[in-house]
Amino acid sequence: MPTLNAFYAQSGGVTSVINASAAGVIETARRHADRIGTVYAGRNGILGALAEDLIDTGLESAAAIAALRTTPAGAFGSCRYKLKSLEKNRREYERLIEVFKAHGIGYFFYNGGGDSADTCFKVSQLSQSMGYPLQAIHVPKTIDNDLPLTDCCPGFGSVAKYVAVSTLEASLDVRSMAATSTKVFVLEVMGRHAGWIAAAGGLAADHGIPVVILFPEIPFDQPAFLARVDALVKHHGYCTVVVSEGAHHPDGSFLAEQGSKDAFGHAQLGGAAPVVAQMVKEALGYKFHWAVADYLQRSARHIASAADARQAYELGQRAVELALEGKNAVMPTVERTSDSPYEYRIGSAPLDQVANAEKFMPRDYISADGYGISDKGRAYLLPLIQGEDYPAYRDGLPVYVTLQNHPVAKKLPAFEIAK
**Does a cis peptide bond (omega within 30 degrees of 0) precede residue 341?**
yes
Question: Cα–Cα distance between 139 and 316 in angstroms, integer?
Answer: 6
Nearest distance, CB of residue 37 and a copy of itself, angstroms = 26
Residue numbers 272-311 binding a copy of itself by CB under 8 A: 273-275, 277-278, 282, 289-296, 298-303, 305
Nearest CB to a copy of itself, comparing residues 180 and 338: 180
Residue numbers 306-365 binding a copy of itself by CB under 8 A: none
Question: Cα–Cα distance between 357 and 149 in angstroms, integer?
Answer: 10
Question: Cα–Cα distance between 195 and 390 in angstroms, integer?
Answer: 27
Residue numbers 108-127 binding a copy of itself by CB under 8 A: none
| 298 annotated as belonging to a binding site for a ligand | yes
**Rg of the chain, C-alpha, whole Å:** 23
Nearest distance, CB of residue 271 and a copy of itself, angstroms = 8
Pairing of strands 211-214, 184-189: unpaired
Total residue count of the chain as it appears in this document: 419
Residue type, 229: V
- Cβ distance 406 to 59 under 8 Å? yes
| 94 annotated as belonging to a binding site for a ligand | no
Asked if 57 is part of the footprint of a copy of itself (rule: CB under 8 A), the reply reads no
Residue numbers 173-232 binding a copy of itself by CB under 8 A: 173-182, 185, 187, 203-204, 207-208
- Cβ distance 219 to 249 under 8 Å? yes
Pairing of strands 330-338, 239-244: unpaired
Asked if 22 is part of the footprint of a copy of itself (rule: CB under 8 A), the reply reads no
- Cβ distance 157 to 199 under 8 Å? no
Asked if 100 is part of the footprint of a copy of itself (rule: CB under 8 A), the reply reads no
Query: Which position among 56, 144, 308, 389 bears the catalytic label?
Result: 144
144 catalytically annotated:
yes
| 190 annotated as belonging to a binding site for a ligand | yes
Among 98, 357, 387, 415, binds a copy of itself (CB under 8 A): 387
Nearest CB to a copy of itself, comparing residues 130 and 165: 165
Residue list, annotated binding site: 13, 142-144, 190-192, 245, 295-298
Point out the residues that are catalytic.
Answer: 144
Residue list, annotated binding site for substrate: 142-144, 190-192, 245, 295-298
